[in-house]
Amino acid sequence: MNHKATRAEIASRTATREAIKEILESIGIDITASYHFKVREESTPSALINKDGSVYDFGSSEYYGDVVALLFDGYKAFNSLTDTMAYLCDYLGISECKA
């Protein structure tokens, strides 16, 4: 898997808050009507999906520029970067990024 090219393709297909919302919901993350969600155990969702698909976590002051960084570095949803990108490729129907 060419990580750089694959990540660029994933980013181009997920550059809206609606796209990020759908992906997060696909792995069981609840998103509010105002595009806020929880990154960790907390009473109030502190992360926000921006209009460009990036995410800012007010609770930790972390900025995630794309869904790969959010799922792998922020949410720790997958064990490896390769697993994260493979899930996103499958979800987005990007067949050319398969290893």
How many domains does the chain contain in total?
A: 1
Q: Is the pTM of this model over 0.85?
A: yes
| Residue 58 belongs to domain with CATH number | 3.90.580
Q: Which domain holds residue 14?
A: 3-97
Q: What is residue 3's predicted lDDT score, i.e. its pLDDT?
A: 81
* DSSP string covering the chain: --HHHHHHHHHHH--SHHHHHHHHHHTT----TTSEE-SSS-SS--EEE-TTS-EEETTTTEEESSHHHIIIIIS--SSSHHHHHHHHHHHHT-GGG--
Q: pLDDT tier at 76 (50, 70, 90 boundaries)?
A: confident
Q: What is residue 98's predicted lDDT score, i.e. its pLDDT?
A: 52
Q: What is residue 23's predicted lDDT score, i.e. its pLDDT?
A: 96
Tell me the per-residue pLDDT of 12-64, one tens digit each, with 9 for 90 and over: 999 999 999 999 999 999 999 999 999 888 899 999 999 999 999 998 998 99
More confident residue, 23 or 96: 23
